[in-house]
Amino acid sequence: MKKVKAVSMISGGLDSALATKILIDLGVNVYGLHFILPWGCGDKPRSVGIAEQLKIPLKIIQLNEDFLEIVKNPRHGYGSAINPCVDCRIYNLKKAKRYMEEIDADFVATGEVLGQRPMSQMRHSLASVEKESGLKGCLLRPLCAKLLDPTDAEKEGKIDREKLHNFSGRSRSNLQQMGRELDIKNYTPTGGGCLLTDRNFARRIKDSFTYGYKNLDEIISLRWGRHVRINKHFKVILGRDEFENDKLVEHAEDDDFILELKDFQGPTAVLKGKSPDDKLLLTAASLVKRYSKFRNIDVVVSFWPIADKNCVRDFCPDAINELFLQKSKI
User: Is 84 or 239 the residue whose CB approaches ligand SF4 more closely?
Assistant: 84
Q: Which helix (H) or strand (E) holds 261?
A: strand 257-261
Q: Which residues bind ligand SF4 (CB under 6 A)?
A: 37, 40-41, 83-85, 88-89, 120, 193-194, 196-197
Residue 312 falls in which region: left (phi positive, over 0), alpha (psi -120 to 50) or beta: beta
Say if CB 141 and CB 105 are below 8 A apart: no
27 within 8 A of 55, measured Cβ to Cβ = no
Minimum separation from the CB atom of position 63 to ligand SF4 (A): 9
Nearer Cβ to ligand SF4, position 116 or 283? 116
Q: How near is the Cβ of 35 to ligand SF4 at its closest, in Å?
A: 8
Closer to ligand SF4 by CB, 57 or 118: give it: 118
Spatial CA neighbour of 194 closest among 50, 15, 14, 35: 35
Report CA-CA distances (Å) from 286 to 145, 293, 319.
59, 13, 6
Q: How far apart are CA 56 and CA 199, in angstroms?
A: 37
Cα distance between residue 254 and residue 192, in whole Å? 35
Angstrom distance (rounded) from CA 186 to CA 184: 7
Q: Judged by CB, which is closer to ligand SF4: 199, or 309? A: 199
3-class SS at 83? coil
Between residues 112 and 260, which has the closer beta carbon with respect to ligand SF4? 112
**38/179 with CB nearer ligand SF4:** 38
Residues paired with residue 235 on neighbouring β-strands, in sequence order? 229, 272
Nearer to ligand SF4, 119 or 320 (CB): 119
Residues 6 or more apart in contact with residue 180 via CB below 8 angstroms = none
Alpha helices, DSSP H only, in the chain? 14-25, 44-54, 66-72, 85-102, 123-132, 152-155, 173-181, 199-211, 216-220, 242-250, 278-290, 322-328
CB of 2 to ligand SF4, least distance (A): 33
Least distance to ligand SF4, CB of residue 305, Å: 36
Cβ proximity to ligand SF4: between 116 and 286 the closer is 116
Least distance (Å) between residue 139 CB and ligand SF4: 15
Minimum separation from the CB atom of position 168 to ligand SF4 (A)? 19
Question: Minimum Å distance from CB 70 to ligand SF4?
Answer: 8
Question: In the complex, what is the shortest distance from the CB of residue 82 to ligand SF4, in angstroms, rounded to a whole number?
Answer: 9
Instruction: Report d(CA 112, CA 265) in Å as an integer.
Output: 48
Least separation in angstroms between residue 326's CB and ligand SF4 is 30
Q: Name the residue nearer to ligand SF4 (CB basis): 129 or 148.
A: 129
* Burial (Cβ within 10 Å: 0-12, 13-18, ≥19) of residue 203: middle
Q: Is 2 buried (19+), middle (13-18) or exposed (0-12) by CB count in 10 A?
A: exposed
